[in-house]
């Protein structure tokens, strides 16, 4: 780090006056030259100085952390715990390294701060010995005054210069090679070896923080209360080490308990603790919070936040404690956003959008005059039922309707708002669509709103197409899709063959768009024809891999079709001949879903008119989001009701940019045929 150095030369008499200039946190310790026959400071271990050879040393002390840590990456490790305090109150505790390095701490030294400087002769050898030491204090006017000692005068030679400070105004304790245990203070130490003489008498010593800094920032959500009066008995354990002054090494002996202080932080929406300096000897830290007082009410907590990652000296860490009405679940918005909402024609109640987030955000309806928003969360007990006790409740209950006519809501921190509708539609009505923009520091994303369960076109017949080898003003093979996946009245059984009457086990649709429904083989002419395999259970019994026809769909669709009357499986090209390179012109699937479809066998499409994320359909958004039955690193927090036949997944929403029509497909993936156990695989990763 380049720093401007200011040196002031002043005459020195017997009184040994000296001064310093303080600018931009750089401190110059200035000593003018003078001749003397012996050291009169009283701190020299060798008084055999030769007249005419001794001189003063110009010391510059700066902060090594500013240079070293500006190049260090912030640790991505953070720890978050959701703690239920009462039915109406949760504590979200997150401990992590601050986004900025130690340079944002208070100034290295200020008025009346004391620093001790030591000089060691014969540096780096077995005979290295302390030659002299002196204490200095920064005066209120910026000048340097001795703090009970005289400044250091040395003859020419090579020395190791050591400096340390507790960044405090009190006098330094009596010198000892090893200090007494150091309590919570900002301990700094540094050294440099240099050859000095009368022509080269400036020595710069860079100090480095040996402790980590921690603090607590407490915040109460406005729906919980308006004022945090106190965080009671918030304390942590760390060791009070001793400093070996010569080496800068720290030695530990046991743990001590320290309580956070809240001096100078008035009660309000946010309460900040004083900074505390800790040494954890390369380990993590545990912080206990006994209770909190919000709006005059004392809430017992008695929980410990454990951060296992080792704390780095010279870095700052913050425990953010937020008292909220509902614990956020799922993944941060930047990792997995919500992409849409769904209501049946008969529904208008709340759909809840929630996500971890830092910073300001705003949700705005940009299309759809039937959409209303709010961030009135209702009772915290109700939200706890949903996300902790897994009691979803009824989104259409009178108390869960979104009242008012707001089309914009905003917040700061975690994203949490509700989407409702102004009214219902008559049974059988065509769906209506809308769009919500969610703007945050990471950019703008969109949620597509649908009201209506009737099958509908996504890409319409009248939408032009010019891709995949097809250039036309219409889409002759575009078809309507149901918003629901297919299942059966009874799982683990064959569904009725087309035209069966009376029905025994008819195919039917799931209750919600996010639900996986049943798994069906393409075709099986054996004993598992039209078999509805369940969506839950990692493996199944009697999985059959034989009996797969070796002909085309047209020749046996009459006995193998699994869709309800009036529906059929969407085609992806010809159904009566082989296609090595599937064309768009004959594909219902590609013309119906993609704005610009590609040709070819199962093309990998990474962008287009679709989004990947969570979908609020009145089922998925009212249950705790969990890992699926077969979890892997890429599908964390992706499913709800995971062990039941109602299991639902995140997925893909396709949308038509021309009219905001939307269709959600859950990423239920498939059961593998190898081994012969029908094992669930790649859950929450594939929708088609």
Q: How far apart are CA 681 and CA 485, in angstroms?
A: 18
CATH topology of domain 78-105+210-324: Immunoglobulin-like (2.60.40)
The arrangement of secondary structure in 22-69+109-207, i.e. its CATH architecture, is Sandwich (2.60)
**Element (H or E) spanning 316, and its range?**
strand 316-324
Pairing relationship of beta strands 58-63 and 202-209 according to DSSP bridges? parallel
Q: Do domains 22-69+109-207 and 338-454 have the same CATH topology?
A: yes
Q: 160-175 as b/e, with b when 16 or more CB fall inside 10 Å? A: bbbbbbbbeeeebeee
Nearest to 234 by CA among 193, 313, 169, 288: 288
Alpha helices in 529-593 (DSSP H): 557-560, 588-593
pLDDT at 267: 66
State the pLDDT at residue 642. Answer: 92
What is the helix, strand, coil percentage profile of the chain, to 5? Answer: 5, 35, 55
State the Cα–Cα distance between residues 238 and 8, nearest whole angstrom: 43
Check residue 649 and give its pLDDT.
95
Instruction: Give all strands (DSSP E) within 122-274, no chain letters.
Output: 129-138, 144-146, 153-154, 157-165, 188-196, 202-209, 212-220, 228-232, 235-238, 242-243, 250-251, 256-259, 270-272
Q: What are the Cα distances from residue 22, in Å, to 19, 25, 105, 208, 524?
A: 10, 6, 17, 19, 85
> How far is CA 369 from each of CA 389, 490, 635, rounded to the nearest angstrom?
35, 41, 35
Q: What angle do CA 103, 106, 109 make, to 5 degrees?
A: 100
Burial class (CB in 10 A: 0-12, 13-18, 19+), 618: buried
- In sequence order, what DSSP letters do the residues of 105-152 get, joined into one string? SS-SS-TT-EEEEEEEESTTSTT-EEEEEEEEEE-TTS-EEESSSPPP
Do 505 and 496 form a contact (C-beta atoms < 8 A)? yes
pLDDT of residue 684: 81
Q: Which residues pair with 460 in a beta bridge?
A: none
Cβ atoms of 402 and 418 closer than 8 Å: yes
Residue ranges per structural domain of the chain: 22-69+109-207, 78-105+210-324, 338-454, 463-688
Give all strands of the β-sheet with 351-355 in edge-to-edge order: 351-355, 415-421, 371-374
Angle at 369 between CA 366 and CA 370, to 5 degrees: 120
Rounded CA gap, 653 and 646, in Å? 20
Peptide bond into 675 cis (omega under 30): yes
What is the phi-psi region of residue 103: left when phi exceeds 0, alpha when psi lies from -120 to 50, beta otherwise? alpha
pLDDT of 27 reads 34
Domain 338-454, CATH class in plain words: mainly beta
Q: What is the pLDDT of residues 384-425, one digit of tens each?
A: 678 777 788 899 998 889 988 899 988 877 788 899 999 999
Cis omega before residue 502 (within 30°)? yes
Which two three-digit tokens encode residue 501?
């009457």
The dihedral over CA atoms of 437, 439, 445, 451, expressed in degrees to the nearest 10, equals -30
Q: Give Cα 126 to chain centroid, integer Å.
A: 51
In our burial notation (b when 16+ CB lie closer than 10 A, e otherwise), range 365-400 reads: beebebbbbbbebbebebbbbbbbeeebeebbeeeb
Radius of gyration of the chain (CA): 36
The residue to which tokens 């002759």 are assigned: 476
- Residue 133 CA to residue 159 CA, distance in Å, equals 12
pTM, entire model:
0.59
Q: Which residue ranges in the chain fall short of pLDDT 50?
A: 1-52, 65-76, 101-107, 379-380
Residue-wise pLDDT for 59-113, tens only, equals 666 665 444 443 344 444 556 666 777 766 778 777 877 755 443 344 455 677 8
Q: What is the largest CA-CA distance in the chain?
A: 120
Gap between the Cα atoms of 167 and 315, Å rounded: 16
CA end-to-end span of the chain: 55
pLDDT of residue 328: 56
């Amino acid at each position: 780090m380049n720093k401007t150095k200011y040196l002031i030369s002043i005459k020195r008499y017997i009184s040994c006056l000296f001064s310093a200039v303080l600018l931009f946190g750089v401190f110059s310790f200035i000593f003018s030259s003078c001749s003397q026959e012996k050291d009169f400071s009283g701190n020299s271990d060798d008084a055999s100085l030769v007249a005419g050879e001794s001189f003063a040393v110009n010391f510059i002390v700066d902060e090594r952390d500013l240079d070293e840590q500006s190049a260090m990456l912030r640790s991505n490790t953070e720890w978050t715990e959701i703690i239920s305090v009462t039915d109406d109150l949760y504590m979200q505790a997150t401990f992590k390294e601050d986004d900025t390095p130690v340079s944002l701490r208070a100034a290295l030294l200020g008025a009346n701060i004391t620093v001790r400087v030591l000089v060691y002769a014969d540096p780096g050898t077995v005979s290295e010995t302390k030659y002299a030491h002196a204490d200095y204090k920064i005066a209120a006017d910026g000048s340097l005054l001795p703090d009970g000692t005289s400044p250091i005068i040395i003859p020419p030679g090579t020395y190791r210069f050591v400096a340390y400070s507790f960044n405090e105004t009190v006098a330094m304790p009596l010198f000892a090679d090893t200090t007494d245990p150091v309590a919570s203070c900002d301990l700094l130490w540094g050294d440099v070896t240099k050859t000095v003489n009368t022509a080269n008498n400036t020595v710069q010593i860079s100090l480095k923080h040996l402790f980590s800094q921690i603090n607590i920032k407490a915040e109460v959500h406005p729906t919980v209360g308006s004022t945090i009066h106190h965080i009671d008995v918030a304390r942590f354990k760390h060791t009070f080490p001793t400093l070996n002054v010569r080496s800068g090494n720290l030695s530990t002996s046991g743990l001590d308990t320290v309580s956070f202080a809240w001096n100078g932080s008035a009660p309000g929406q946010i309460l900040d603790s004083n900074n505390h300096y800790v040494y954890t000897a390369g380990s993590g830290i545990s912080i206990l919070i006994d209770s909190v007082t919000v709006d005059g009410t004392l809430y017992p907590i008695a929980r410990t936040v454990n951060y296992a990652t080792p704390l780095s000296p010279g870095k700052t860490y913050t425990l953010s404690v937020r008292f909220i009405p509902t614990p956020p679940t799922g993944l941060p918005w930047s990792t997995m956003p919500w992409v849409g909402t769904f209501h049946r024609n008969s529904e208008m109640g709340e759909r809840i959008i929630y996500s971890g987030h830092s910073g300001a955000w705003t949700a705005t309806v940009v299309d759809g005059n039937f959409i209303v928003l709010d961030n009135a969360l209702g009772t915290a007990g109700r939200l706890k039922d949903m996300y902790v006790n897994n009691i979803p409740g009824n989104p259409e209950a009178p108390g869960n309707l979104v009242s008012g006519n707001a089309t914009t809501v905003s917040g700061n921190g975690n994203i949490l708002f509700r989407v409702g509708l102004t009214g219902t539609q008559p049974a059988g009505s065509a769906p209506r669509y809308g769009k919500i923009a969610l703007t945050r520091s990471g950019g703008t994303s969109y949620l597509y709103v649908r009201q209506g369960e009737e099958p509908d076109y996504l890409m319409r017949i009248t939408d032009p197409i010019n891709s995949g080898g097809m250039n036309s003003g219409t889409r002759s093979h575009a078809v309507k899709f149901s918003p629901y996946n297919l299942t059966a009245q009874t799982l683990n059984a064959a569904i009725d063959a087309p035209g069966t009457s009376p029905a025994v086990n008819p195919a039917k649709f799931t209750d919600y768009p996010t639900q996986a429904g049943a798994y069906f083989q393409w075709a099986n002419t054996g004993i598992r024809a039209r078999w509805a395999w369940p969506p839950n259970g990692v493996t199944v019994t009697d999985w059959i891999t034989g009996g797969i026809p070796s002909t085309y769909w047209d020749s046996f669709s009459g006995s193998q079709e699994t869709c309800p009357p009036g529906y059929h499986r969407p085609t992806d090209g010809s159904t009566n001949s082989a296609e090595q390179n599937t064309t768009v012109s004959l594909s219902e699937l590609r013309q119906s879903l993609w704005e610009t479809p590609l040709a070819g066998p199962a093309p990998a499409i990474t962008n287009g008119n679709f989004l990947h994320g969570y979908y609020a359909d009145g089922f998925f958004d009212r249950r705790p989001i969990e890992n699926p039955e077969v979890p892997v690193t890429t599908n964390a927090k992706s499913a709800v009701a995971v062990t039941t036949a109602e299991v639902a997944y995140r997925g893909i929403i396709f949308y038509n940019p021309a009219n905001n029509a939307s269709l959600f497909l859950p990423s239920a993936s498939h059961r593998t045929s190898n081994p012969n156990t029908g094992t669930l695989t790649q859950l929450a990763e594939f929708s088609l």
